Each structure stands twice: as structure tokens, then as C-alpha cells.
Amino acid sequence: DAGVIQSPRHEVTEMGQEVTLRCKPISGHNSLFWYRQTMMRGLELLIYFNNNVPIDDSGMPEDRFSAKMPNASFSTLKIQPSEPRDSAVYFCASSFELYYEQYFGPGTRLTVT
């Protein structure tokens, strides 16, 4: 298996623009997680899905953030409109079942200017 795939790997955008991050989990994994990492706040859990259903989105910082998982092999995290404070590395991870070991993607480094 290719592991968790994220795209793009790097994204530079201007404040106010819409940003869409994409994730393909490992085939057969039932749980998917979106994290954000910065030096100041560390690794933050934003939202997680189980069997394509969002379970907890309490970590999503604002209504500007939204996530979807239309099927078992694809998820998106959207920021609209983006702000400079959204600059961070965004990781997607998947696991066979909830609370099993997670496998992380390479991350998307987002810079909002």
C-alpha cells in the first residue's frame, strides 16, 4: 500500500482565498483524522471520521473550516476564507479502527500571506 496520500504537499495562498486539502487514507482503514501542527500549539486534532461519518469536530477552530468524507477513500479539509494564522502543517491520518495505531500522511504545509 502507498500509505496515506495527501495533496498538495505545499500550498501558498493569499488571505481571503479558499484552500482545499485532500487526503486518501489507506485502503481498508475505517477511521480518518485531520490534525494541524504549529510550533506554538503543537499537534492539534481538528476532526475525525469513523466509517465516513464525522464523529467529533470540536477541534475545528472556526466556521471557516469544514471537512468532508464522501467515501471511504477520500476526504477534504476546506478553509474559506483563509487567514495568515491558518498557516501550519496539516496532517491526515488513518487507522484500521478507532484508537488503533494511526498512519500519518506526509502533511500539507500551508502558508497564507
Partner 1 sequence: LAKTTQPVSMDSYEGQEVNITCSHNNIATNDYITWYQQFPSQGPRFIIQGYKTKVTNEVASLFIPADRKSSTLSLPRVSLSDTAVYYCLFPSGGGADGLTFGKGTHLIIQP
Binding interface with partner 1 (CB under 8 A) = 33, 35, 42-43, 45, 48, 56, 58-59, 89, 91, 93, 98-99, 101-107
Closer to partner 1 by Cβ: residue 19 or 33: 33
Strands 19-24 and 74-79: antiparallel
Distance CA 4, CA 19 (A): 20
CB of 67 to partner 1, least distance (A): 14
DSSP structural state of residue 17: -
What are the grid coordinates assigned to 24, written together?
Answer: 486518501
User: For residues 81 and 89, which CB has a smaller minimum distance to partner 1 in the complex?
Assistant: 89
Least CB distance to partner 1 at residue 99 (A):
4
Q: How far is the CB of 43 from partner 1 (least distance, A)?
A: 4
- Measured from the CB atom, the residue of 7 and 81 that comes closer to partner 1 is 7
Whole-number minimum distance, CB 81 to partner 1, in Å?
26
Residue number, 16 or 33, with CB nearest to partner 1 = 33
| Sign (positive or negative) of CA dihedral 79, 82, 84, 85 | negative
Q: What is the per-residue burial (b if ≥16 Cβ within 10 Å, else e) of 21-43? A: bbbbbbeebbbbbbbbeeeeeee
